[in-house]
């Protein structure tokens, strides 16, 4: 791609920029409205709420100016954005193809910003973006749309194409409907189900050689994965076998289906099952563990000894043992279980 003939445009020429509004977790009411946070995955979605006092329109772009700075996402439905996010309302006809192109360019600007130099609304209004142009020196939106449609999309892996086309198989593995009634469930400490150990290594991800092994750190999204590596640059991280759970200092919990590296600075705990765990059990349990995260914060992190002492309530058999079959069947009864 040759950008020599592209032109610079101010964001203020292309967009009306509005700042998001903070909503604390205590004030959130569960619902189906997307809450967009300053994160680097899941299209910026951090929660689903029913609060509707400060809703932004669909067909806009959200850009984090704090936290994961310059992460840009196209929003196809009305949403609430946190105050660490700027919302870009286009002054032109925006579609998903043009949005994908713009979001990619916007995210390339993140190297310019950091904790001490945020990309706030005032700075964004003065910022510029380089775009292909028509003979009239206006943004060539048609060229951008055609490029994404005809060049980028056909090169995507099949699964990525399915995501792009919203072509998901929501069919469950089992058509049997299973209701959850926790009245007769019993409490189990994690130490009675897993051995718990704290990863002792540390690593500087930006100095690693990129590869195919997940590197797990603290985080509430992307399965705790911050990157994929093969060899280390500066620092050491431990490699662990597959089929384990990980938890971090904030009690985020994920199933790790393949071998992985983990670091200690996020207080990543490795949970090795004392039972014959499969992915369905793992998803059931990791979801319950994550429900305990309200107990912890940056000032009260969960450490290895506390992780082992955490208790979760599980369905049980007649002899009081965890009912692994019920857990597996329940997960299999859920939509999307066929693609787990």
What does the pLDDT read at residue 282? Answer: 97
Question: For the chain, how are helix, strand and coil distributed in percent, rounded to 5?
Answer: 30, 30, 40
For 140, the 3-state DSSP assignment is coil
User: Could you give the domains of the chain?
Assistant: 7-164 (3.90.220.20), 182-339 (3.90.220.20)
Q: Is 319 exposed, middle or buried (0-12, 13-18, 19+ CB in 10 A)?
A: exposed
Q: Which residue do the tokens 């955490």 mark? A: 310
**pLDDT computed for residue 189 by the predictor:** 95
262 touches 247 (CB < 8 A) = no
**CA–CA distance, 286 with 289 (Å, rounded to integer):** 5
| pLDDT at res. 208 | 61
The alpha carbon torsion through 223, 228, 233, 234 (nearest 10 deg) reads: 0
State residue 170's pLDDT score. 79
Helix (H) or strand (E) holding 60: strand 60-64
Give the per-residue pLDDT at 322. 97
The one-digit pLDDT tens for each residue of the chain (340 residues) are: 888 899 999 999 999 999 999 998 889 998 999 999 988 778 889 889 999 999 999 999 999 988 778 889 999 999 999 999 999 999 999 999 999 999 999 988 887 876 677 888 888 898 999 999 999 999 999 999 999 999 988 888 777 787 778 777 778 888 888 888 999 999 999 999 999 998 876 666 555 667 788 888 887 777 888 778 876 555 566 789 999 999 988 889 999 999 998 877 667 899 999 999 999 999 999 999 998 887 776 667 776 678 889 999 999 999 999 999 999 999 999 988 888 8
DSSP state of 37: -
How much is the pLDDT for 41?
A: 76
Q: Residue 202 in contact with residue 234, Cβ under 8 Å?
A: no
């Amino acid at each position: 791609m040759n950008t020599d003939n592209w032109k610079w445009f101010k964001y203020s020429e292309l967009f009306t920029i509005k700042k998001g509004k903070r909503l604390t977790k205590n004030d959130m009411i569960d619902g189906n409205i997307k809450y967009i946070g300053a994160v680097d995955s899941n299209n910026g979605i951090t929660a689903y709420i029913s609060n509707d006092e400060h809703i932004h329109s669909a067909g806009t772009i959200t850009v984090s100016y704090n936290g994961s700075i310059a992460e840009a996402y196209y929003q196809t439905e009305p949403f609430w954005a946190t105050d660490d996010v700027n919302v870009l309302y286009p002054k032109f006809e925006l579609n998903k193809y043009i949005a994908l192109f713009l979001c990619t360019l916007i995210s390339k600007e993140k190297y310019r910003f950091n904790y001490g130099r945020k990309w706030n609304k005032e700075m964004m209004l003065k910022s510029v973006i380089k775009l292909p142009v028509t003979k009239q020196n206006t943004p060539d939106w048609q060229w951008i749309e055609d490029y994404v449609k005809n060049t980028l999309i056909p090169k995507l892996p099949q699964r990525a194409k399915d995501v792009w086309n919203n072509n998901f198989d929501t069919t469950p593995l089992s058509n049997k409907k299973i209701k959850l009634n926790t009245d007769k469930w019993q409490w189990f400490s994690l130490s009675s189900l897993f051995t718990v150990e704290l990863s002792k290594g540390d690593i500087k991800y930006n100095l690693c050689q990129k590869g195919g092994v997940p590197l797990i750190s603290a985080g509430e999204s992307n399965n705790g994965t911050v990157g994929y590596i093969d060899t280390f640059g500066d620092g050491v991280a431990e490699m662990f076998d597959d089929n384990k759970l990980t938890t971090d200092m904030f009690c985020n919990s994920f199933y790790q289906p393949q071998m992985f590296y983990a670091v200690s600075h996020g207080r990543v705990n490795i949970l090795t099952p004392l039972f014959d765990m499969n992915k369905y059990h793992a998803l059931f349990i990791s979801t319950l563990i994550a429900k305990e995260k309200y107990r912890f914060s940056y000032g009260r992190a969960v450490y290895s000894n506390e992780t082992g002492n955490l208790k979760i309530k599980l369905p049980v058999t007649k002899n009081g043992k965890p009912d692994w079959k019920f857990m597996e069947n329940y997960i299999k009864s859920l939509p999307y279980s066929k693609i787990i």
